[in-house]
């Protein structure tokens, strides 16, 4: 049944603005006075009534349901993650599902360890149920890749995962998946966004009691049966089960879930394929939405590894692995036996190590298909291009975001053109095979451990093997730089910077000539002679500078954080040369960013 409304409190915003009320003040007063909103909500609003800046930040805009769903700070307000903004998004999704006649196929729902994740997932399920749509909600927290798998396994029309991935503790988020198990892409994303934006009255959002939803066969709880099938799919991707058995007592693995969802499935898969010496960081083993041992639960951040590094030194571990809270990303440290130190791998290094391992071992076993393919994003390492070429595998590049990789995989299935062997993006996410349609930090853990066992049998550490890859293909190095600009002023500044760089493209960066300039919003690439070609990809607010000497720079606003991101890459003839060239490029990009802000 719909939430109850009271027309006495329905506000005409334009009339209030005429009375010298700012729009965010009008929205604040509506939430404060409208009986739709509960007393707990109003109590929180009362606590900030003297803080105009806080009121503005909470109400100056609606939390945008974008192509990545919702992500924002938990709290009361239109620009916050709360049960009202979550159910508004869910009602929009429900309206779209009904138009697609997908009510009986249902929606799979998962959630992570974050504050309010469990509650938001339940609110979403009951909103869908009130619209006559079946839901299959996991009994407890589960990793995002398992949700992706479950959508297809259960034949659902859509999926929802409540997570803010690796964001700080005060954030939560809401991601929507479609029937192929991938995050929504065009035109579905735009159609769902339109449905969400069409909801202007919270009174039109439906909900129902859980007991009633269960009795009507709308609310279903899932768990072990999906877990077992998911783990079985991962086991099929092991290349050298014999090597694992041979080396299982010799490999020491330190793992941390960073208080998130990875702990149970990681321990299970490693045990079932044969690894014996797996040491979990006890302080970070249990779910904790406050992330009490880390300020930022991101496996890209070295600080997140402090406890894991301590444990690794105590047990003399070969590798250290960390998943982010929803376990779709993987961070890696490997031991250098020459120095005794642990070396951090970035997402490109891990991706290329795994890519080389899978392709080389499949070729050695005569299992490399003639139509094999590898997929990466345009901000990922050019080293992947060289590896794919070495093994005669087709390389595909696409826009940032794993949903774009999933779109290519879906195309392969539809036209039977290629078999995807491996795909990754530089932001610490990859997937082996196609069992899920989002990055999978669980299968990544499994494969990195397998690779460590294989190379240790050859007398190599993973750091040794990474150096062999550099020696074989060239010293490719990459880096990312972000500038954080918060609030409405920050958003305007980021927009200005992108416009300045788009309208006044530079001809050289760090002394390297720009061979071509790609404006993905215009869907065109212009070479240094003025010749234009199509990007062949959907429109996106991305700028790409292809430089001489196999170097490159890419710029885009973040889709989930108040940041503008600069990606860069070089290829040197030695490690030192690559480091030097990358440093020069970073200095030049900082100058370019400063100029763009003027």
| Banded pLDDT at 598 (limits 50, 70, 90) | confident
In the beta sheet, which residues pair with residue 424? Answer: 376, 430
Angle between helices 52-59 and 23-33 (to 10 degrees): 90
Confidence of residue 1 (pLDDT cuts 50, 70, 90): very low
Q: Answer yes or no: is pLDDT of 195 > 60.
A: yes
- Check: CB of residue 28 under 8 Å from CB of residue 59: yes
Q: How far apart are CA 79 and CA 62, in angstroms?
A: 5
- Express each pLDDT in 238-253 by its tens digit: 999 999 999 999 999 9
Residue-wise pLDDT tens digits, 59-74: 999 998 887 789 999 9
285-342: pLDDT as tens digits: 999 999 999 988 999 999 999 999 999 999 999 999 999 999 999 999 999 999 999 9
Token digits of residue 521: 């919003």
Domain spanning 61-222 has what CATH number? 3.40.120.10
Whole-angstrom Cα distance, residue 511 to residue 594? 18
Q: Is the pLDDT of residue 18 over 50?
A: no
Q: Look at the alpha carbons of 580, 584, 589, 591 in this order and tell me if their dihedral is positive or negative.
A: positive
Distance in angstroms between the alpha carbons of the first and the last residue of the chain: 53
pLDDT given for residue 166 in this prediction: 87
**Of the candidates 164, 57, 157, 163, which has an alpha carbon nearest to the alpha carbon of residue 102?**
157
Mean of pLDDT over the chain: 94
pLDDT value for 407: 95
Long-range contacts (CB closer than 8 Å, 24 or more residues apart) made by 245-251: 245/274, 246/453, 246/457, 247/453, 247/454, 247/456, 247/457, 248/274, 248/275, 248/276, 248/277, 248/453, 249/276, 249/277, 250/453, 250/456, 251/275, 251/277, 251/318, 251/319, 251/449, 251/452, 251/453, 251/456
- Return the closest-CA partner of residue 164 out of 301, 69, 41, 300: 69
Residue 427 binned pLDDT confidence (cut-offs 50, 70, 90): very high
How many C-alpha atoms does 207 have within 13 Å on its Cβ side? Answer: 20
- Check: CB of residue 535 under 8 Å from CB of residue 552: no
Name the fold adopted by 230-473: Alpha-D-Glucose-1,6-Bisphosphate; Chain A, domain 3 (3.40.120)
DSSP state of 165: T
Active site residue 47: no
Reported as a single tens digit per residue, the pLDDT across 537-582 is 999 999 999 999 999 999 999 877 789 999 999 999 999 999 999 9
Q: Note the CATH number of domain 475-596.
A: 3.30.310.50
Rounded CA-CA distance 567/107 in Å is 36
- Of these residues, 165, 380, 397, 423, which one is catalytic? 165
Residue 14, pLDDT above cutoff 90? no
User: Is the omega angle on the peptide bond into residue 249 within 30 degrees of 0, that is, cis?
Assistant: no
Q: Do domains 230-473 and 475-596 have the same CATH topology?
A: no
pTM, full prediction: 0.92
pLDDT over 90, % of the chain = 91
Domain ranges of the chain: 61-222, 230-473, 475-596
**pLDDT interval class at 143 (50, 70, 90):** very high
pLDDT at residue 203 above 70? Answer: yes
Q: Residues 6 or more apart from 100 whose CB is under 8 A from it? A: 157
Contact 266, 290 (CB under 8 A): no
Phi-psi region of 458 (alpha: psi -120 to 50; beta: other; left: phi over 0): alpha
User: CA-CA distance, 83 to 44, in Å (whole number)?
Assistant: 14
């Amino acid at each position: 049944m719909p939430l109850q409304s009271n027309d006495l409190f329905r506000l005409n915003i334009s009339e209030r603005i005429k009375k010298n009320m700012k729009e965010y003040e009008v929205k604040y007063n509506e939430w404060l006075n409208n009986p739709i909103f509960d007393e707990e909500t109003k109590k929180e609003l009362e606590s900030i009534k003297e803080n105009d800046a806080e009121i503005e930040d909470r109400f100056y805009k609606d939390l945008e349901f974008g192509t990545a769903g919702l992500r924002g700070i938990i709290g009361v307000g239109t620009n916050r993650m709360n049960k009202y903004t979550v159910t508004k998004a869910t009602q929009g999704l429900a309206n779209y599902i009904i138009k697609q006649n997908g009510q009986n196929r249902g929606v799979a729902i998962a959630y992570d360890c974050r504050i309010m994740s469990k509650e938001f997932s339940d609110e979403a399920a009951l909103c869908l149920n009130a619209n006559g749509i079946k839901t299959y909600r996991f009994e407890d927290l589960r990793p995002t890749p398992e949700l992706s798998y479950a959508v297809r396994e259960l034949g659902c029309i859509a999926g929802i995962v409540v997570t803010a991935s690796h964001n700080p503790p005060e954030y939560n988020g809401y991601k929507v998946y479609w029937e192929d198990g991938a995050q929504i892409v065009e035109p579905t994303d735009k159609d769902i966004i339109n449905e969400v934006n069409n909801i202007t009255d919270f009174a039109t959002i439906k909900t129902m009691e859980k007991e009633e939803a269960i009795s009507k066969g709308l609310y279903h709880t899932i768990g072990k049966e999906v877990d077992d099938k998911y783990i079985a799919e991962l086991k099929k991707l092991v290349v050298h089960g014999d090597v694992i058995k041979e080396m299982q007592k010799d490999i020491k693995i330190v793992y941390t879930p960073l208080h998130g969802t990875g702990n149970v499935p990681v321990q299970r898969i490693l045990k079932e394929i044969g690894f014996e010496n797996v040491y979990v960081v006890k302080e970070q083993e249990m779910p904790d939405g406050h992330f009490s041992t880390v300020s930022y639960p991101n496996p890209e951040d070295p600080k997140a590894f402090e406890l894991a590094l301590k444990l690794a030194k105590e047990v003399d571990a070969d590798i250290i692995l960390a998943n982010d809270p929803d376990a779709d990303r993987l961070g890696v440290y490997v031991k250098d036996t020459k120095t005794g130190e642990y070396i951090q791998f970035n997402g490109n290094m891990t991706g290329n190590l795994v890519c080389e391992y899978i392709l080389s071992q499949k070729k050695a076993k005569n299992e490399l298909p003639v139509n094999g393919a590898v997929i990466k994003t345009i901000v990922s390492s050019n080293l992947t291009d060289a590896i794919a070429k070495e093994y005669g595998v087709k390389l595909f590049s696409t826009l940032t975001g794993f949903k774009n990789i999933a779109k290519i995989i879906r195309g392969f299935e539809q036209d039977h053109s290629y078999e995807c062997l491996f795909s990754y993006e530089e932001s610490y996410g990859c997937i082996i095979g196609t069992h899920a349609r989002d990055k999978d930090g669980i299968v990544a853990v499994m494969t990195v451990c397998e690779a460590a066992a294989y190379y240790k049998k050859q007398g190599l550490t993973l750091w040794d093997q990474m150096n062999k890859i550099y020696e074989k293909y060239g010293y490719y190095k990459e880096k990312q730089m972000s500038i954080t600009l918060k609030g409405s002023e920050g958003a305007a500044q980021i927009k200005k910077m992108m416009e300045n760089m788009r309208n006044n493209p530079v001809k050289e960066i760090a002394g390297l000539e720009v061979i071509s300039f790609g404006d993905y919003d215009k869907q065109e690439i212009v070479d240094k002679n003025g010749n234009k070609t199509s990007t062949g990809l959907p429109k996106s607010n991305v700028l790409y500078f292809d430089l001489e000497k196999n170097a490159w720079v890419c710029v885009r606003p973040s889709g989930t954080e108040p940041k503008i991101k600069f990606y860069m890459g070089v290829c040197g003839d030695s490690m030192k040369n690559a480091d030097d060239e990358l440093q020069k490029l970073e200095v030049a990009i900082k100058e370019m960013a400063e100029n763009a802000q003027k």
